[in-house]
Structure 1
Amino acid sequence: MRLLFLAVLRPHTGNAVTAGRVRDHLEAAGHMCVLRDAFDFESPSEIANLITAKNLEAALALHLYRGGRLLQGHGIPFGVIFGGTDLNEDASDKEKNEVMGKVLEEARFAVAFTEAMKDAAQVQWPHATGKIFVQSQGIATVPNADYNWDTFLQQSEIDQSADNLYVFLIICGLRPVKDPLYLVDAFSEWHQEAPNMYMVIVGPEAMDLEVPVLARNIPGNSAVVEHGVTGLLFSNPQEFIQLAKRLVSDPTLEKEIVTNGREYVRTHHSWQVERDTYQRLVRKLEARVEE
């Protein structure tokens, strides 16, 4: 089947990584998947031209408002995947909420990454209850798990002479709630007190790396990270420093969080299960095409 897949594809964001992974799942099942950035289109008419030009038979969108609204009224079956922005931000906007409700009326299925996202969606749009499925984001084997950290430290000019060196990796995206500079001031003050503490900001990857996770306490993170069990959640920079100090001084806590986090990933974020789910759901579109 020839599929159009709309997503926001800004580099090094969760959206782009997720879209690429889902596309791979669909193409592995023999489908031809045309992945396009939803921000490249201003109206459904432009999508109609693309559908005609590429002879597309069905579609998928990541984000109901950003992508799903562009798929309405074209006569081809489509499914949607909820983004965090849909439920945590756009749902509170009356106009966007109504648009997303109409998208769900026409969509053949909708995917939520967590039970919490599904519950929130069902409260907003009760009419879509029967078509919302939960599929956690899958994680394949981490390709750089054996990364040479000695080389990294040399290239980054971090003072390796410091005793008991600690490096905190900040894995972040681009939205304000994921601001990569959110902790800089507080961390800089801590570094002045403890020169062996460093913060490194990187783009796209963390539980799967078998390191303790400290995450900002926002809905998308709290749905995945259980505070004190699979990671630690902070609400402000000062709380991050407090929890980080606790983690550094308590090896037992670190070990428990690493063990629980790794087991959580293995249990709930299977790459193969994710692949099977999307391939099965897309068959719902295929059946509609054949009708």
Structure 2
Amino acid sequence: MRLLFLAVLRPHTGNAVTAQRVRDHLEAAGHVCLLKDACDFDGPSEIAVLIQAEAVEAAVALHLYRAGRLLQGHRIPFGIIFGGTDLNEDVNRGEKNQVMAKVLEEARFAVAFTESMKEMACLQWPHAKGKIYVQSQGIATAPNTAFNWEAFLQRADIKQSTDNLHVFLLICGLRQVKDPLYLVDAFAEWHQEEPTVYMLIVGPEVDPVFTREVKAKVKRATGVRLIPEMPQDDLHAVVQKCFALVNSSVSEGMSAAILEAMDLEVPVLARNIPGNAAVVTHEVTGLLFSDPQEFVQLAKRLLSDPALEKELVANGRRYVRMYHSWRVERDTYQHLVRTLEGSPED
């Protein structure tokens, strides 16, 4: 089939990485998959032109509102994948909720990353219950083996010897929902008493106004550094070298960075929100914190307890291998896309 795949494709964001991975799954099954950025289209009429020009037979949308709304009314079968903010935020905005309900009515299938996301969707749109499937994100990591960690630290203006350095890594696009400033004050205070700890915030400048605020705050914070976005293989190499991966988001669908850290055998400290708690079991596969002070307490505990670190790493790795298989994800999407073949009457 000739498939149109619509997603929000900001470079190196979770949705973009997911979209590229799912596209690979679909192309491996022999489909032609046109991956397009939903942000490039003002409305369904522009999509109609594209569908005709490219002889598109079916479509997939990642994000029920931002991408899904563009697929309404074209008389081609489509499926959707929930993105995270569609279920965590957009459902609370009346007009968006109504639009999403109509999109879901037309969709042949919908994919949620977690059982809790499926439950939220079923609560909002009970009529769609029979077409919502749960498929965790499949994880595959490939660190750049030639990555120069020492040169990277020099560029980040970290002069501490690597023998006694503990880097806490926060990977996120600079936008408010990721809340990159949540831990900055508490971490800067901790760095002053323990100069071997650093926090690196790595990611694209998504929101220009908020980015200026982040840059100004980080500039004044000791022990905290802001790093521009990086290629995926370099980023995986940085994850592998850091002491722990941190997530401080207000809202998450399913954090690929958390799962990738587990796969790379790096401990995880994550803010206790539903999306994170769905993949991090406290004191089993990682540590969950509810405020900046608790983060510092747990980080200190992790530093002083190698046995705990070892246990979290082993459990995290086992969890990813068991529940986030790349192969199972491929099989699921290839099966679901087959339901888009033919008309609904077939």
Task: Tell me the TM-score normalised to structure 1 length.
Answer: 0.94
Contact in 2 for aligned 1:76/1:289 (Cα 8 Å): no
Paired residues for 1:201-280 under 5 Å: 201-203=201-203, 205=257, 206-280=261-335
Matched letter for residue 20 of structure 1: Q
Which residue is 1:106 aligned to? 106
Which residue is 2:24 aligned to? 24
Matched letter for residue 55 of structure 2: N
Contact in 1 for aligned 2:79/2:107 (Cα 8 Å): yes
* Greater mean deviation of Cα atoms: 142-151 or 75-84: 142-151
Shift of 1:148: 4.7
| CA distance in structure 2 between the aligned counterparts of 1:241 and 1:177, rounded to whole angstroms | 21
Report SS of the residue matched to 2:343: helix
Paired residues for 1:1-291 under 5 Å: 1-144=1-144, 147-161=147-161, 164-203=164-203, 205=257, 206-288=261-343, 291=346
Shift of 1:289: 8.2
TM-aligned CA distance change 1:283 to 1:174, over 3 Å: farther
Residue identity (%): 76
Matched letter for residue 19 of structure 1: A
| CA distance in structure 2 between the aligned counterparts of 1:182 and 1:263, rounded to whole angstroms | 30
TM-aligned CA distance change 1:72 to 1:162, over 3 Å: closer
TM-aligned CA distance change 1:224 to 1:146, over 3 Å: farther
TM-aligned CA distance change 1:6 to 1:139, over 3 Å: same
Report SS of the residue matched to 1:286: coil
| CA distance in structure 1 between the aligned counterparts of 2:281 and 2:16, rounded to whole angstroms | 25
Shift of 1:84: 0.8
Cα-Cα RMSD: 1.9
Cα deviation digits, residues 187-224 of structure 1 (max 9, x gap): 11111110000112223641111011011222221211
| CA distance in structure 2 between the aligned counterparts of 1:175 and 1:222, rounded to whole angstroms | 21
Shift of 1:15: 0.7
| CA distance in structure 2 between the aligned counterparts of 1:79 and 1:174, rounded to whole angstroms | 29
Matched letter for residue 196 of structure 1: T
| CA distance in structure 1 between the aligned counterparts of 2:87 and 2:136, rounded to whole angstroms | 16
Shift of 1:283: 0.5
Report SS of the residue matched to 1:233: strand
Report SS of the residue matched to 1:35: strand
| CA distance in structure 2 between the aligned counterparts of 1:13 and 1:174, rounded to whole angstroms | 10
Contact in 2 for aligned 1:216/1:235 (Cα 8 Å): yes
| CA distance in structure 2 between the aligned counterparts of 1:276 and 1:241, rounded to whole angstroms | 41
Cα deviation digits, residues 135-189 of structure 1 (max 9, x gap): 1101114334785534433443423338732111112234312133332222111
| CA distance in structure 2 between the aligned counterparts of 1:110 and 1:173, rounded to whole angstroms | 26
| CA distance in structure 2 between the aligned counterparts of 1:209 and 1:146, rounded to whole angstroms | 16
Contact in 2 for aligned 1:145/1:209 (Cα 8 Å): no
Contact in 1 for aligned 2:87/2:121 (Cα 8 Å): yes
| CA distance in structure 1 between the aligned counterparts of 2:97 and 2:111, rounded to whole angstroms | 17
Cα deviation digits, residues 238-272 of structure 1 (max 9, x gap): 22111111111111211111111111100011111
Contact in 2 for aligned 1:13/1:174 (Cα 8 Å): no
Shift of 1:279: 0.7
Report SS of the residue matched to 1:75: coil
| CA distance in structure 1 between the aligned counterparts of 2:269 and 2:76, rounded to whole angstroms | 43
Greater than 4 Å deviation, 4+ residue runs: 145-148
TM-aligned CA distance change 1:145 to 1:115, over 3 Å: farther
| CA distance in structure 2 between the aligned counterparts of 1:212 and 1:74, rounded to whole angstroms | 46
| CA distance in structure 2 between the aligned counterparts of 1:27 and 1:93, rounded to whole angstroms | 35
Give unmatched runs, 5+ long, in structure 2: 204-231, 233-256
* Greater mean deviation of Cα atoms: 262-271 or 155-164: 155-164
